[in-house]
Structure 1
């Protein structure tokens, strides 16, 4: 008996996101999503799908890469600021992130998730 390969669909992760970042993802301008590296982020792998949701809208993305860092400062030493938010400086982004994540959450580590839009006319 010969084994055959079965292509299973990639797992889809759901993430809520603020409107200003959702719009950047939906237009393809934001190509790196950053989060603290908690247990749910450890399940995300290249090829995984992420559905970002905001105020009843959603956009589907595919993970292109994962990079882990000790802090947001270290992350911005390696990730381009414009890929995270093309409308803000590094300092502005750090201030915004730290309003979302307190120091004890940042202490979990940081994950930079490379994303690309999934064409809705093509199968995921």
Structure 2
């Protein structure tokens, strides 16, 4: 049996979230269930990039769980895993500022991640 290379997905991330991921403090990434993320699965690598920069951070996907809403996601995953520096209410407001209701209607993905250290 041969090993296959992990698939690498490149995603943009705001600086405040990037810093939490790079520090190993943010262990769950929140995304809308866009078709391009449908194939995302455990073992894949996500290369987060701060848009407009060369700054990147690689993480390994441990698990992907779908939720109907962002509220369900925060309740199911725990807000401290998504952003340990903000309250649940503030996180919900921040997520909804990024993703309007029509995007949330596509479904929410909780992506459990683990920082890849070199």
TM-score, scaled relative to structure 1:
0.91
Distance 2:12 2:73 in 1: 21
Distance 1:60 1:111 in 2: 18
Distance 1:32 1:50 in 2: 12
Distance 1:99 1:56 in 2: 25
Q: Which of the residues 7, 22, 26 maps onto 1:26?
A: 22
Pairwise CA RMSD: 0.7
2:99 aligns with 101
The unaligned stretches of length 5 or more in structure 2 are: none
Mapping for residues 41-60 of structure 1, pairs under 5 Å? 41-54=37-50, 55-60=53-58
For the pair 1:13 / 2:33, whether they are aligned, the reply is: no
Distance 1:101 1:24 in 2: 20
Distance 1:66 1:52 in 2: 16
2:69 aligns with 71
1:95-117 Cα offsets, whole Å, 9 max, x none, are 00111000000000000000001
Distance 1:27 1:10 in 2: 23
The unaligned stretches of length 5 or more in structure 1 are: none
